[in-house]
Structure formats: C-alpha cells, structure tokens
Amino acid sequence: MVVRDISNLKKFLGEIRNCVIWNGNNFEKFTKLDYLEAKKCKDCGMISTNPHLTEEGLLEYYQNYLTDRLSNDDPKEKILLEQRKFAYLVDRDWIFKFIDHGKVLDVGCSGGQFLNTFDPKQWDRLGVDVSQEDADFAKNEYGIEVKVGFLPEMHFDESFDLVMLRGVIEHISKPIEFLQKCYELLKPGGYLFITAAPVGDSFAFDVYREKWVLYNPVEHLHFFTVNLLDSKLLEFGLTLIDSHYQYQETPYANPQNDFKKIREDIVLIASGHDDQIKTSVPFPGSMLTAVWQKKD
C-alpha cells in the first residue's frame, strides 16, 4: 500500500450520514484512525467510515493514484502488484463457474487490469471509471474501452450479461445508488459480481480494529457483509447465487504464520499491549466474493 499523509485532507471532512442500509442514525463507535472514525449501525450492524471525506477531498486524494502506484519503485510494491495479478485470476476463475462469455461491464475498472484477464474472444469488454487517466491507460495498454464518468449519471445503450465491482463498493460514497444502476444495466438472467471488498463482520476486523490492514478509512468508506448487501439487492430483484471468502487460494495466505500471529496478537490486545502490534495478518473471512442473478 502507498502510505500517504492524510493530515492535509482533514479540511475535507464531510457531515455525519445516516446508515446506507436502512437510513438509520443509531450508531456506536467501532474504531478510529487519526481523525477518521468507523461507526457501527446498532440496527443492522453496517460499519462505515462516518463522516468520510467529501467528493472534493476524495478527488484530491485519488489524483495521480494510478501513476503513483505504477511508478512506485519500492520492491514491496512490486511484489504486491505481482500478487494482485494472481488475485485477479483467482477472482476471474471463480466467476467463470457461473458465466464464461458475453458482455461484461467492469465498474471502477481502474486501468483495465482485471478486465484484461477476460479473453476478448469470449467477452465483449467495457469498463467504467471516474479517471480519464485510467481510461487512457486501459485503451493504450490493453485496447480496452473505458467510459469515464460517475456511473449513476451515465447513459448506456446496451445491457450486460455480467456487471462486476472488484475492490470498488467500499470506495463509493453512495454505494446503493451504484448498485441500483448496476441492477438496471443487467440483462434479465445477468449476473452481478462483487468481489475483493473488505468485510464488516470479519473476525480480523473485530480483533484488530484500526490496525486491520483493510481499515484504510480515507479509501474504504463502507464495510459491507454478504447479508447486508443481499438485503438491499433482494429489494432490487437480485437473487444471491453463491458467496465465498477467499483466503487459502490467494497469494497473501500463509495459514501457519497467520493463525499463530492472530493468536499471539489477541493475547497482546487482551493484556493491554496492543501498541506492540503494527498491523494485522491476512485471515479467512476478511474479503467477500459474491454473485447475484437478475430474474429472467
């Protein structure tokens, strides 16, 4: 992860918002990092960074995000990039169990890296992203078309067999609007694939709180669970087909070390020595992968 100083962004802190699931405002503090607090909804359990940065603050933060990543010479960052490439294939192969050809829309596709793992002989590929720079990269590097804009406000002449959000839903300020639009863009019988999203009811988050590696509250605004997503998507007319928590098959997993570390860290936390913990380890149940289908 590219560690960035966020103190200059404090001026962009927005207002406290109601829960994205059922619009309630009955919260308890879950954790806090710097000036950004995660609140848990007492009604439904949804955890969100609340308040989070305004759109203006997020734009400021994401400026040059991809360039920074790709031009980063830190060898650790290079390893992460390689691991991510492998993780793309794990995700792709999981969704291919349900659908392996057709028209695909990758929402928040960044530079098209994930979409590029979809064979153009089998797939008619299109991406959407807010960044023109990323769209240009996808076009030049992979020949993938990317529409630039804010999805809920965009017009499409076509509908899709597969709409996917990979590592995206947690970044979106108003995620339910996005999901509604994704639903509208699906053909009858089409699939919505949500993957690589940090999970609000994960054991590691509960243990590590602000030290959980996926608790990056500038970028990660919402921590969904499969059940909470399903409760909204069911309203739109989507049926949950399958869900999964990737761990064992990812390049990040090292069960022997990870389980030992979390066991030791729980002892440290329980004895008030959590200052000795720098960050969390990968652990099962931390990232969700799920697929829904639109009714025929």
| Shortest distance in whole angstroms from residue 79 CB to Zn ion | 38
**Nearest CB to Zn ion, comparing residues 33 and 44:** 44
**Nearest CB to Zn ion, comparing residues 100 and 230:** 230
Measured distance CA(44)–CA(21) in Å, rounded: 8
**Nearest CB to Zn ion, comparing residues 8 and 26:** 26
Helix (H) or strand (E) run with residue 146 in it: strand 145-148
- Interface pattern 19-38 for Zn ion (x via CB under 5 A): x-x--x--------------
Per CB under 5 A, contacts with Zn ion among 252-271 are none
Burial bucket for residue 40 (CB in 10 Å: 0-12, 13-18, 19+)? buried
Q: Per CB under 5 A, does 176 bind Zn ion?
A: no
Of 16-24, 69-77, 118-126, 282-290, the segment contacting Zn ion by CB under 5 A is 16-24
| Shortest distance in whole angstroms from residue 196 CB to Zn ion | 23
Mention every residue, 6+ apart, whose C-beta is less than 8 A from residue 288.
194, 195, 197, 198, 199, 224, 225, 226, 229, 243, 244, 245
| Shortest distance in whole angstroms from residue 26 CB to Zn ion | 8
Kindly write down the DSSP assignment for every residue of 199-241, as one continuous string. Answer: -TT-HHHHHHGGGSTT--TTT--EE--HHHHHHHHHHHTEEEE
List 9, 36, 38, 46, residue binding Zn ion (CB under 5 A): 46
Measured distance CA(160)–CA(104) in Å, rounded: 6
| Cα three-residue angle 37-43-45, rounded to 5 degrees | 55
Do residues 67 and 93 make contact, with C-beta atoms less than 8 angstroms apart? Answer: no
List 36, 41, 126, 199, residue binding Zn ion (CB under 5 A): 41
User: Residue 283: which region, alpha, beta or left (left: phi > 0; alpha: psi -120 to 50)?
Assistant: beta
Number of residues that bind Zn ion (CB under 5 A): 7
| Shortest distance in whole angstroms from residue 221 CB to Zn ion | 14
Of 17-25, 66-74, 255-263, 286-294, the segment contacting Zn ion by CB under 5 A is 17-25
| Shortest distance in whole angstroms from residue 23 CB to Zn ion | 8
Measured distance CA(180)–CA(234) in Å, rounded: 11
H helices of 13-131, in order, are 55-62, 65-70, 75-95
Tokens of 60: 């400021």
| Cα three-residue angle 118-120-125, rounded to 5 degrees | 70
Of 11-19, 64-72, 111-119, 256-264, the segment contacting Zn ion by CB under 5 A is 11-19
| Shortest distance in whole angstroms from residue 223 CB to Zn ion | 12
**Nearest CB to Zn ion, comparing residues 46 and 179:** 46
**Nearest CB to Zn ion, comparing residues 10 and 42:** 42
Sign of the Cα torsion 103, 104, 110, 113 reads negative
DSSP label at residue 35:
T
List 4, 33, 43, 99, residue binding Zn ion (CB under 5 A): 43
| Shortest distance in whole angstroms from residue 42 CB to Zn ion | 8
List 13, 33, 44, 207, residue binding Zn ion (CB under 5 A): 44
| Shortest distance in whole angstroms from residue 222 CB to Zn ion | 11
**Nearest CB to Zn ion, comparing residues 144 and 179:** 179
Residues that bind Zn ion (CB under 5 A): 19, 21, 24, 41, 43-44, 46
